[in-house]
Chain A
Amino acid sequence: MSSTVSLPTRLEKLVGSDRVRASETALQEFAISGRAPLAVLKPRSAEEVAEIVSFAVAENLAVVACGSRSKLELGMPPRGYDLALDMTALRQIAHYDPGDLTVSADAGLPLHELEGVLGAKNQFLPLAVPFFETSTLGGAVASGIDSVLRQQYGTARDFLVGAEFVDGTGKLCKSGGRVVKNVTGYDLHKLLIGTLGTLGVITRLNFRTFPLPELRGAHLSTFTALEPALDFHASLLKSGLPFSNLELFDAEFSALLAAWQNKTGGAPKSLSADGWKVVACFEGSTAVIERIRRELQERSERTKAAHSENIDARSAQSLEASFRGAFHWLGRSAPNVAVLRIVLPRAASGDVAELLSGSQPPLLRSAFALRACGVAYVTLLADEEADAANAILQREVTRLFSQVEENKGSATLLHASPWLRERVGVWSAKRADLQMMQRVKQAFDPHNIFAPGRFVGGI
């Protein structure tokens, strides 16, 4: 520290006292894995963010940018955490051109607020992420967390067309633009996606928007065994039918989902805790919905589903919202939970499901869900936090990590106790391109002030 004046006082001088909080309560609100920052700042503008970052560079302070703080647990806890940047005061829509299907909005704008504005013009942003009700645009992008509509609309990488951000030298930079097709300069805005705030502080994001679907539908099939469920799931993928989401899950997942649905708005009757289930979600005109329903019915009969039902539009929407928030409720479904996100070649995903459906270690239950885009979620649940349960969780996660690696996939621990996180890490394996990633980090953040240690490989 370069001055005898206290840090909060120096920060107040920089941005004004109404923008700085340093009370114990305020600091605890922004704690990550028990570690609180020295001060919380709430900048009013991108320029103010740049000033704060410049200050942080000069004083060698570590900075973590936050939106609604719903996903701060992702990644490793940062090695340094001096300043929390509360970005929620940056919440303007800078441009919205409904006729162009593009929108440009500040990073701190809540997704649901944007949803309202776009919805008034019959449009939406297909960033259907967990904690949708509170998440900010910046947080949703920086966390890189899956959107449940990915099968149909892709990831943020497919509809983020530009960004403004403050780099690690305290300069306000931009990349991309506000048009839907653009190859001018390096695609640095896409590079920011999923980086957990380690490359820069996102201040504004430009997206392509989409027309709201006319109607939504869903269909649920139940199978007595995994194999026909997987066959059915695979046959739907090959069918060419447009699904917004396609989930295959086991009885435990079904039970947890039903419990969550009952809390939030009623589950379809057949969401019982038995067998393997496949839920298909789709959207379109009446003719498209009818056609998909008809084919689903025929296909589920052909694959000998034990039960098959069409779900009405209202229940379909509520089911989709539950899938959207799965990361949220899965993590809270038992006292000691580990949620893993696994990406595997399509053919190998069944192997993991099979493994999980086999003999369970004592003290542990597991829930499995496989999405259409090749992403599987494995949740390990223990009803106690005692050492024995922790040890079993540790062993299971380690085993899954290595199994995924053998199958040339990758696994990320999305949710776990700090104890487990510390022991097994968050990512399944060392990346061969780690050195290249470090070079990117160095270029964006030469003083290593942005969330140091939070990202892959200790970046």
Chain B
Amino acid sequence: MLYEFDGSVEKARPEVIVFPHTTQDVSRIVKLAAKYQVPVVGRGAGTGLSGGALARRGGVMIVFARMNRILEIDVENRRAVVQPGVVNLDITRAVEHAGLYFAPDPSSQKSCTIGGNVAENSGGPHTLAYGLTTNHIAALELVMPDGEIARVGSRHGDAPGYDLCGLFVGSEGTLALVTEITVKLTRKAEAVKTLLAIFDEVGDASRTVVEMTAQGITPAACEMLDGWTLRAVEDYIHAGFPRDSAAVLLIEVEGLREAAESQAGAIAEICNSNRAREVRTARDDRERDLLWKGRRNAFGALGRLAPSNYVLDGVIPRSKLPEALERIHATGKKFGFQIGNIFHAGDGNLHPIVLYDPRDTGQFKRAIAAAEEIIRMCVSLGGSLTGEHGVGMEKNELMTLLFSDADFDLMRRIHDAFNPDSALNPGKIFPLSKGCGEIRVHKSAQSAGTRR
């Protein structure tokens, strides 16, 4: 039953769960599944937020928890070779002695696995400066739907040929299973400055982000928490967020000492010109860690307020931030929810959180409707469906907001080039309503996924 769920509001039950130790194990399982035409879905820690690691059509779930070894660390070339079940933060822990770290930092980095990060092309607060997972992957070992083992990409980058590695990263387990990953490591910056800007109006905070972007200042991270959210966080974490403010921005700049200092100064100036009540700078690592602890545990803090919460993931052009926040507030009002906002403001990646009680069917339906309205709003502002959580089975029906029949035809041909029988992770990414989802129905595929 545990494996029926992930971090999303979706639910689907696998028929068999296996825990391979090696790539050969995975290959054998996939071959066996292919023989009996049973679908296969890969899973890391199950922290995903779009139902990517759920067995929508039943079948075999391959859990990579036991393939969790760091196989090699190459400090000279800044590479590490890891198995998919390695926890994201453990890569950084293993290399930080050499002044290196793995840059993608999803909020769940203490538990999510690198395999899941690769499948979903995960982001995190520091995506703003360092990019998504795809920018930090050099090569992959794959098990294809017929059980064959393949390698794509190249350890030192740039091998001639199509960028297959880039194609597989973010393909949400619909093209192949990833069994080994060569990651790129990043050098730690010489200086880090973390600022907390406190605002009495949400609009002032969002205008600060717009102005910062327009002036070409790209911090390493720029996170926003609205007043309602930060009070919940403060009650739980005691990170030092002022309970009476309307919004805070958590901004981090990195680089050479001289650059970090001048950037921090310029940012403080913009905050002040947008009527920030106060701009605090973390004095040491302890203060910085506390601020980040508040940010990273925000979803957990909100979880205490209601039986369940629905974390959305939409992207807008950054200049539209003030308008988007107003419209999210209006949507909440319309559907009768207090919607919290805690998100990656610097790259326009919104994470509105709808608190609801799943036992109340009416409330659940309203939560889903509110979510859809918000995502549609993001698209109408020139944005996109998902910035880092993936499409999965959460948003596959909304894909038609962005893509045409021609786009789907091409994506389907790419899908079929590698996973022609939809044996891997069926029912994801492609809208079922357009008939491009499950064209091929598996014999044993009976347990259709349903929302919780």
Which chain A residues have a beta carbon within 8 Å of chain B's beta carbons?
97-102, 122-123, 154, 157-158, 167, 169, 171-175, 177-188, 190-191, 193-195, 199, 210-212, 240-242, 284-285, 287-288, 291-292, 343-347, 373-375, 408-410, 412, 427, 431-434, 436-437, 439-444, 446, 455-457
Is B157 within 8 A of A184, CB to CB?
Answer: no
Is B163 within 8 A of A157, CB to CB?
Answer: yes
Residue B120 is within 8 A (CB to CB) of chain A in the complex: yes
Shortest Cβ-Cβ A-B pairs, 3 listed: A211-B216, A171-B406, A443-B413
Q: How far is the CB of B410 from chain A (nearest CB, A)?
A: 5
CB-contacts of B308-346 with A (<8 A): 315-319, 344
Is B157 within 8 A of A190, CB to CB?
Answer: no
Bound CA span A447–B268, Å: 57
Is B399 within 8 A of A184, CB to CB?
Answer: yes
Is B258 within 8 A of A172, CB to CB?
Answer: no
Question: Which A residue sits closest to B348, measured CB to CB?
Answer: A179
Task: Give every chain A residue within 8 A of B158 (Cβ-Cβ).
Answer: 343, 374-375, 410
User: How does the 8 Å CB contact mask read for B414-431 relative to A, with 1 for contact and 0 for none?
Assistant: 111110000000000100
Task: Give every chain B residue within 8 A of A157 (Cβ-Cβ).
Answer: 135, 163, 166
Q: How many CB-defined contacts (below 8 Å) exist between A and B?
A: 232
User: How does the 8 Å CB contact mask read for B34-54 relative to A, with 1 for contact and 0 for none?
Assistant: 000000000000000000000
Given the interface pairs A185-B429, A240-B190, the reply to whether A440 lies near B258 with Cβ below 8 Å is: no
Bound CA span A100–B211, Å: 10
- Of A183, A212, A288, A408, the residue contacting B256 (CB under 8 A) is A288
Given the interface pairs A182-B386, A210-B216, the reply to whether A410 lies near B159 with Cβ below 8 Å is: yes
Beyond A154-B135, A343-B156, A443-B413, 19 extra complex contacts between A and B, CB < 8 Å:
A100-B317, A173-B404, A179-B387, A181-B347, A182-B387, A183-B123, A183-B170, A183-B386, A185-B403, A187-B169, A191-B162, A193-B163, A242-B255, A242-B259, A431-B161, A433-B161, A437-B161, A437-B164, A456-B162
Residue B9 is within 8 A (CB to CB) of chain A in the complex: no
Bound CA span A291–B258, Å: 8
Bound CA span A335–B166, Å: 39
> Which of A199, A212, A285, A347 has most chain B Cβ within 10 Å?
A285
CB-contacts of B383-418 with A (<8 A): 383-391, 395, 399, 402-404, 406-407, 409-411, 413-418
Could you give 6 example pairs across A and B, Cβ below 8 Å? A177-B382, A178-B317, A187-B169, A188-B167, A374-B158, A433-B161
Task: Give every chain A residue within 8 A of B413 (Cβ-Cβ).
Answer: 442-444, 446
Question: Which A residue sits closest to B131, measured CB to CB?
Answer: A158
Task: Give every chain A residue within 8 A of B155 (Cβ-Cβ).
Answer: 345, 408
Residue B152 is within 8 A (CB to CB) of chain A in the complex: yes
Question: Which B residue sits closest to A123, measured CB to CB?
Answer: B216
Is B156 within 8 A of A345, CB to CB?
Answer: yes
Is A436 within 8 A of B256, CB to CB?
Answer: no
Bound CA span A365–B77, Å: 30
- Of B163, B210, B262, B315, the residue contacting A179 (CB under 8 A) is B315
Given the interface pairs A186-B170, A344-B156, A443-B414, the reply to whether A100 lies near B318 with Cβ below 8 Å is: yes
Bound CA span A261–B435, Å: 61
Task: Give every chain B residue within 8 A of A191 (Cβ-Cβ).
Answer: 162-163, 166-167
- Of A102, A344, A439, the residue contacting B418 (CB under 8 A) is A439
Bound CA span A436–B215, Å: 44
Bound CA span A292–B417, Å: 50
Question: Which A residue sits closest to B382, measured CB to CB?
Answer: A178
- Of B154, B319, B417, the residue contacting A439 (CB under 8 A) is B417
Is B162 within 8 A of A437, CB to CB?
Answer: yes
Is A287 within 8 A of B262, CB to CB?
Answer: yes
Bound CA span A194–B188, Å: 30
Task: Give every chain A residue within 8 A of B99 (Cβ-Cβ).
Answer: 240
Is A436 within 8 A of B164, CB to CB?
Answer: yes
- Of A102, A175, A285, A436, the residue contacting B152 (CB under 8 A) is A436
Is A410 within 8 A of B160, CB to CB?
Answer: yes
Is A288 within 8 A of B348, CB to CB?
Answer: no
Q: How far is the CB of A230 from chain B (nearest CB, A)?
A: 13
Given the interface pairs A167-B406, A240-B189, A437-B161, the reply to whether A183 lies near B132 with Cβ below 8 Å is: yes
Q: How far is the CB of B260 from chain A (nearest CB, A)?
A: 10
Question: Which A residue sits closest to B418, measured CB to CB?
Answer: A439
Residue B179 is within 8 A (CB to CB) of chain A in the complex: no
Is A287 within 8 A of B160, CB to CB?
Answer: no
Is B167 within 8 A of A187, CB to CB?
Answer: yes
> Which of A101, A374, A443, A455 has most chain B Cβ within 10 Å?
A443
Task: Give every chain B residue within 8 A of A440 (Cβ-Cβ).
Answer: 162, 164, 167, 414, 417
Task: Give every chain B residue within 8 A of A171 (Cβ-Cβ).
Answer: 406, 409-410
Is B163 within 8 A of A347, CB to CB?
Answer: no
Q: How far is the CB of B269 from chain A (nearest CB, A)?
A: 15
Q: How far is the CB of A457 from chain B (nearest CB, A)?
A: 8
Task: Give every chain B residue within 8 A of A292 (Cβ-Cβ).
Answer: 256
Residue B27 is within 8 A (CB to CB) of chain A in the complex: no
- Of A180, A285, A345, A439, the residue contacting B347 (CB under 8 A) is A180
